[in-house]
Structure 1
Amino acid sequence: MLYNVDDLSQSLLQNPGTNIDFVKHFGIPFFSQIHVGVGSTGVTAYDIFSDDGRNINNKVREVMNSITANDFVAVNEQLEILTLGWKVGQRGYFSGGIYQEFDAFAYFPKDPAVLAFEGNNDYIGQNFDFSDVSFTGEMLTVYHIGFNYKFNDELTLGARLKGYSGIFNVESIDNTGVFRTDRTPNGDNFFRHSLEDLNVTVNTSGYASLNDDGGMTVDQAAKELLSRSFFGQNVGVGIDFGFNYKMTDQFSVNGSFQDLGVVYHVKDVENYSYFGSYATDGLEPLFPELDDDEETIPYWDVFEEQLDANLRDETYANNYKYWRPLKFNAGFEFGTGMALLPCDPLVDVKPRFLNLFGMLVSGVKRPRGFTYGVTAYWDRKLNDNFRFRLAYGADNFTQTKIGVMGSVRMSNFNIYMAANDLIGFTNLAKANSASLQLGLQFIFKEL
């Protein structure tokens, strides 16, 4: 909702090459941007927890039958700790700051969930694929500096360098393995259970020192996480890049990518791996005549030994790198309703429009590919102190996403708020997604 809003500094975070309409800014620490967004495809809280008299187990079963392994849940939170910027020369603008971000993403592990919930009785001869298990999560602090430069009246370019300070990370992707039950009419038993090429790995960073085995209390763990908020244990680097090109006074195209970067996890790392292959027809007990000093065969112990020999789990501490979710934006904008009178000397130098109509295509790189969204918006400047934006969008979560943004300036003090998926806000339990963004800052415009 804040993309390409030329009088808000947050637009520089989404496109460092956007056109801007101010010469200096600084935010109220911890309040210049607060953003929370959640979303789920294929299922809502209402689908499971609605008070409709139906058995919850039946509702869970219906949900698991309807969604696929490509459905997902996503949570993103950003808190801008510090932001400031100022004009450099006639065409440049320097900006920098610090923000904290939490990002979690998980595909629905359909096959393992069905196996755990329903068992294999109704799925003889079908594969349960453990590649359905795929999730990532991270919390980090981002330090950034950026430069926006207007080369001429048509082209503006910008770039932003980021330093990542990791607080917590977990990932489990590219897993393999298949569980299958087959009938064996010619065998000693009726069924044969097999687990083939299992390889499930979970990498963590910042977790080992916080878990119960580390002897840390909840209060101590909270203090430890707070101490990492500014100086984390693992570091990385990334870059943003963007542009805005005015093809005519009224029509412009723009685009950007964000977080082309990586975090190297080398401290407080713990990895968990489960791997191997095994097949069994079940236990085949024998009942021989035993003497008084003879013991029965320990079938269960033998079975456990076979499992341990073929299906293994290991815990180790290998360093790993985590590529940040790459984001991209591409759009165009068309202005109507000249805000300046024909006799105004700025008409030819700096044309302004009361109405801006635009379209934006955006995406985020996830383990199995990009998630996409498209948004069309109308941006209206009522005067120099108030503007609003209405938007309609469609993405992986919903095809009817209505958003609104409002920005109010009192002298140099600015307040803005943006909400997306307003239909979902009417009943959050039925909503597939919701996001809210607000902030307080000082924006100084050119006289």
Structure 2
Amino acid sequence: MRRFAPIIFLLFFFSGFSQNRPLLYNVDDLPQSLLQNPGARIDFTRHIGVPFLSQIHLSGGSTGVTAYDIFADDGTNVNQRVSNVMREITSGDYFSINEQLEILSFGWKMGARGYFSAGIYQELDVFAYFPKDPALLAFEGNADYIGQDFKFSDANFMGEVLTVYHAGFNYKVDAKLTVGGRFKLYSGIFNAESTANDGFFRTVETPGGPNFYLHEVRGLDVTVNTSGYASLKEEEDMTVDKAVAELLSRSFFGQNGGLGVDLGFNYRVTDQFSINASIQDLGLMFHQKDVENYNYFGSFQTNGLEPLFPELDGNEPTIPYWEIFEERVDRNLQEETTNNTYTTWRPLKYNASFQFGTGKSILPCDYLLSKKPRFMNLFGMIISGVNRPKGPTYGVTAYWDRKVTDNLRFRLAYAVDEFTLTKLGFMMSSRFKNFNIYLAANDIIGYTNLAKANSASLQLGMQFIFKDL
């Protein structure tokens, strides 16, 4: 376990307070909507983001447990609180952290119907299921779980840090349909994943055997793949500061690469009603450099030590029972370190929504039409999700979007997802001439007491947006 401590630290070093961002989805006067749906309708002709400040996104959450459940100052014993949480949480509960920093963003109108956009952003994504069986075995032991299997498949996690270079094109086919696509080049900085483990540990009673209990490990097959980690581990006098500096030095040109695409559309059924959908990060990462894999495999069973007490003279050594036992374990439960290349899918994200407008106003704000109908109130619903190793995570968001003026709008949202049933969100976007600033916060109720919150999300940015007539 000591070798995995640095991995765990690196995964959580950049953590902040799910990966989908419904508060900016369908916001037609923000370029960030094109990152979620390259086929979104937009009403600007050019944009350029303030470097490193056009989008800062931090989000995180956990299902089944909060910090308060563990660290509550209520006079109870912390070990008892941990035990209670471990009994209640399931192997399907998970922890998620996502961070995204937009380094560069720009775009401009092309022809009468097209809009080209491109940029660079850095992303961290960590997702780990709660390893219930291994954690329960380590914390409470096996005395109260005779005959029960402790499954090693519960150990399931992935984490990566990468830089994304992207270019997209948004095209208005006609007055009703807009489509778009985005091509992405991934530059890997760090990756660790362990998602296909197997085997179990079990203790059973053996009344007629040489001992009361039989302990066995069956079909153990646990693999942890890493890239960008081996060089950090092997360097002498490596400290946290040096590790962070090394990772930052890879920010623009990492050691491993990949390819991906985003696709989307928006269809205006009527002037008031529209539907749209998108997929993001349909792509692969190819880990070929600075790769190290750790594999633990085998089967073993034992009734425990069976000491004998022979007559020994003063020169005879005692029987080395523990050394013999260790040799048996090492022969049957093996550890192997390799440098095999591996491939991972990026976590595929998908969105689908509908939107209905009321309060019609006419403003010259569409780059494809001299005038278009604009609605001051927009009501919509978004279904979003992310593919994960044990199945997709999901959420449903309903929102009211109010365009107060051409330079000020806000959105109020209510969402239900796997973190909470009462997620309130707020977004505000304001423009001063061509300078835009926006702020979006999700799960506002959780901000009143972050220790009791299952999730939190914050997104902000500033940029220059132009609407040439």
- Sort the TM-score into its range (normalised by shorter chain): over 0.9
Distance 1:61 1:223 in 2: 38
Partner of 1:140: 162
Residue type matched to 2:164 in 1? V
Residue 114 of structure 1 deviates from its aligned partner by 0.5
Q: Distance in 1 between matches of 2:334 and 2:217?
A: 12
Q: What percentage of aligned pairs have identical amino acids?
A: 68
The residue aligned with 1:113 is: 135
TM-superposed CA distance for 1:445, in Å, is: 1.2
Contact 1:80/1:100 (8 A) holds in 2: yes
Give the Cα separation in 1 of the matches to 2:116 and 2:370: 26
Tell me what 1:184 maps to.
206
- SS of the residue corresponding to residue 462 of structure 2 reads strand
- Matched residues in 2 for 1:220 and 1:340: separation? 57
Q: CA deviation at 1:297?
A: 2.0
Output the CA distance in 2 between the equivalents of 1:214 and 1:430: 41
**What residue is the counterpart of 2:389 in the other structure?**
367
Is contact 1:375-1:391 (8 Å) kept? yes
Q: Tell me, yes or no, if structure 1 residue 75 matches structure 2 residue 97.
A: yes
In structure 2, give the amino acid aligned to 1:320: Y
Whole-Å Cα distance in 2 between the matches of residues 349 and 47 of structure 1?
Answer: 55
Deviations 1:354-408 (A, max 9, x none): 0100000000001101000000000000010100000000001001000000000
Once residues 311 and 337 of structure 2 are traced to their aligned partners in structure 1, the CA distance between those partners, rounded to angstroms, is: 44
Q: Does 1:390 align with 2:390?
A: no
Is the partner of 1:35 in helix, strand or coil?
Answer: strand
Q: Which moved more, 1:284-293 or 1:320-329?
A: 284-293
Aligned ranges 1:46-445 → 2 under 5 Å = 46-211=68-233, 214-340=236-362, 350-445=372-467
What do you get for the CA RMSD once the two structures are aligned?
1.4
Measured in 2, the distance between the counterparts of 1:287 and 1:22 equals: 88
The superposition leaves residues 205-263 of structure 1 with CA deviations (integer Å, 9 ceiling, x where unpaired) of 11111126544344433332121000100000000000000111110000000000011
Preserved contact between residue 23 and residue 93 of structure 1 (Cα < 8 Å) = yes
Which ranges of structure 2 fall in alignment gaps of 5 or more residues? 1-22
Deviation at 1:155, TM superposition (A): 0.3
3-state secondary structure, aligned to 1:274: strand
CA distance in 1, matches of 2:399, 2:171: 26
TM-superposed CA distance for 1:293, in Å, is 3.9
- State the shift of 1:290 in Å: 2.5
Which range moved further: 220-229 or 143-152?
A: 220-229
Separation of aligned partners in 1, 2:262 and 2:90: 33
Name the SS of the counterpart of 2:34 in structure 1: helix
Partner of 1:86, secondary structure, is: strand
AA aligned to 2:451 is A
TM-score normalised by L of structure 1: 0.97
Give the CA deviation at 1:347.
10
- 2:468 corresponds to which residue? 446
Verify the 8 A CA contact 1:208 1:214 in the aligned structure 2: no
SS of the residue corresponding to residue 38 of structure 1 reads strand
Distance (Å, rounded) in 2 between the aligned partners of 1:214 and 1:261: 35
- Secondary structure of the 2:387 match is strand
Q: Secondary structure at the match of 1:366?
A: coil
CA distance in 1, matches of 2:154, 2:110: 51
Contact 1:167-1:225 within 8 A present in 2 as well = yes
**Separation (CA, whole Å) in 2 of partners of 1:154 and 1:331:** 16
How far apart are 1:174 and its partner, in Å? 1.0
2:126 counterpart letter in structure 1: A
Q: Distance in 2 between matches of 1:334 and 1:292?
A: 93
**Whole-Å Cα distance in 2 between the matches of residues 382 and 235 of structure 1?**
44
Structure 1 match to 2:16: none
- 2:145 is aligned with what amino acid? Y
> Structure 2 vs 1, CA of residues 432 and 129 (structure 1 numbering), >3 Å: closer, same or farther?
same
Q: Could you state the TM-score of these two structures normalised by the residue count of structure 2?
A: 0.93
CA shift, 1:287, in A, is 1.1
Note closer, same or farther for the CA distance 1:382–1:361 as it changes in structure 2 (3 Å cut): same
Q: Residue by residue, what CA displacement relative to the aligned partner does 1:126-158 show, whole Å, maximum 9, x if unpaired? A: 010110000000000000000000000000000
Distance 2:315 2:210 in 1: 30
Looking at structure 2, the residues matched to 20 and 347 of structure 1 have their Cα atoms a distance apart, in angstroms, of 12
* Matched residue SS, 2:75: coil
Is residue 340–residue 347 contact of structure 1 (8 Å, CA) maintained in 2? no
Instruction: Write the letter of the residue equivalent to 1:127.
Output: D
Distance in 2, matches of 1:81 and 1:268, equals: 25
- Residue in structure 2 matched with residue 44 of structure 1 by the alignment: 66
Cα deviation, residue 100, structure 1: 0.2
Range that drifts further, 231-240 or 203-212? 203-212
Q: Which runs of 5+ in 1 are unaligned?
A: none
Q: Distance in 2 between matches of 1:372 and 1:45?
A: 23
Q: SS of 2:146's equivalent?
A: coil
- 2:162 and 2:187 in contact (8 A); partners too: yes
Give yes or no for contact 2:362–2:372 (8 Å, CA) kept in 1: no
Q: Does the residue aligned with 1:16 lie in a helix, a strand or coil?
A: coil
CA contact (8 A) 2:292 2:339 kept: yes
Over 3 Å counting, the alpha-carbon distance change for 1:409 and 1:325 in structure 2 is same
Kindly indicate whether the alpha-carbon contact (under 8 Å) linking 2:261 and 2:283 is maintained by their aligned counterparts in 1.
Answer: yes
